[in-house]
Structure 1
Amino acid sequence: MSAAPPGAGSADDREISRVRILRAAAEIASECGYEGTTISKVTKRSGLPASSVYWFFRDKDHLIAEVLRHSFEQWIAAQPRWERDPRDERPLAEGLRAILSRSVRTLPGAPDFLRIGHMLLLESREVEAEARRYFLATRDAVANNIAAWFSAHFDTELQARRPELAMDLARMVIASTDGLFLAHQIDDEWDPDDFIEIIVAIVEQAVAAG
């Protein structure tokens, strides 16, 4: 790797070029999938030479992984945090409703990491893509955060009796939002409030039955 990309100016200029490449790759991957994304297409879409792409990214696999990372970091920064303030005395259902009312409304924006990540999960290849590993690791981290949030609302008796319940509910929340995201790609007629109430009802019943 050279000290700077060909023709690069300031650090800000380099970051602008890097983001142009990431956005071009995201558009192409969303349209053509992983296999259909090529460095040649990225250079044409971004208007930057291949030498610039390879200065920032060692290969296509690394580029797509960085597309997911860049998109995820932008998306997660705008999300409500799955952390319970010890001073927050709201019941579980009310707290869950407040978080979901913000998070599910971001789904129609179709973050690249969700669209491309789901594509990668459905594709199979002999060598697992770095981007697929990143997407799975990110989902695991999110699931752990949600599970910790649920656990913070459980009394010690429920946690001892059903230690797996918090993670089961976290995975259910993620699976449900996955389904809502995919459904929105097919038909944009959806009511987030109805969806939220269904999820809250499922969680309340599971906790009561625990």
Structure 2
Amino acid sequence: MTKRSRVHQSTPENERAILEAALTLAVTAGYEGTTMAEVARLSGLPTGSVYWHFNNKEQLFAELIEYCFGKWKEDHTGPTNRDLLRRSIAGSAGGSTDPENKAEAFWILALLFALEKRLADNAARKKYLDVRRQMFELMVQRVEPQIPGSVLAADPDFGRKMVVLGRALTDGFYIAASAGDDIDFMEFADLSASAVEALIARRAAMAEGEVEK
């Protein structure tokens, strides 16, 4: 195995500078338009240093997805399911066109990895699909405790179904934002949350025999 040169020092600061440069380029130039040389230029580090930290662009983007996932885990919290849905639709999808909100804008690009079947063996695509599964499980853990026990007793998968619904809504609003649709994302986040809350309330009433199926 070839040993890495001691000329390039591995430091958290250098790695973060490279990832932030890659993130800036990714949301403006996309995957195809981002080059290691341009990442080096924007980060202020030698090209050799970028390659020292990341063997190629696939590995760089795979690490960038993990980097943005860390930010996502910090941001996607809230005391209620309504707060979570607001954060996903208004904060993430609605904020994804804001040039200053690079971490959110990046998820539009990451979402495209799931659609690009020609990239089936791409390390970044595989990383995104893995992170997407982790996101799903984390949201299930956050959503289920707020669903009445009677509902989960009647349908143990109901929490997962709500996360599937919430994800479908969020993905749709990401597309709407990317397409430039002129909509009030906070308004639609609240409408979506109200619809989900009404569905949960109806299921609770059904489970308790207060309404017919």
Q: Distance in 2 between matches of 1:112 and 1:161?
A: 39
Q: Output aligned runs, 1:20-169, within 5 Å.
A: 20-80=17-77, 95-107=80-92, 108=95, 109-110=101-102, 111-125=104-118, 127-169=120-162
**Deviation per residue, 1:17-74 (Å, 9 max, x gap):** 2222212222333233323332233223333222101111122111011111112212
Letter in 2 for 1:17: N
**Deviation per residue, 1:74-131 (Å, 9 max, x gap):** 23213315xx7xxxxxxxxxx2223334454432035254122112122222642222
1:2 aligns with 2:4: yes
Paired-residue identity, %: 25
Which residue in the other structure is 1:205 paired with? Answer: 199
Letter in 2 for 1:192: M
- Aligned-residue CA RMSD in angstroms? 2.8
User: Contact 1:5 / 1:51 at 8 angstroms: preserved in 2?
Assistant: no
Displacement of 1:168 in angstroms is 1.2
Q: Distance in 2 between matches of 1:180 and 1:47?
A: 35
Which residue in the other structure is 1:177 paired with? Answer: 170
Letter in 2 for 1:133: K
Q: Distance in 2 between matches of 1:2 and 1:64?
A: 21
Displacement of 1:133 in angstroms is 2.1
Letter in 2 for 1:208: R
Q: Distance in 2 between matches of 1:156 and 1:146?
A: 17
User: Contact 1:101 / 1:193 at 8 angstroms: preserved in 2?
Assistant: no
Mark the CA change 1:79 to 1:4 in structure 2 (over 3 Å): closer, same or farther. farther
- Aligned residues, how many? 193
SS in 2 for 1:125: helix
Which residue in the other structure is 1:89 paired with? Answer: none
User: Contact 1:34 / 1:120 at 8 angstroms: preserved in 2?
Assistant: no
Letter in 2 for 1:196: D
Displacement of 1:199 in angstroms is 3.0
Q: Distance in 2 between matches of 1:76 and 1:150?
A: 14
Letter in 2 for 1:2: R
User: Contact 2:86 / 2:189 at 8 angstroms: preserved in 1?
Assistant: no
- TM-score, normalised to structure 1's length? 0.75
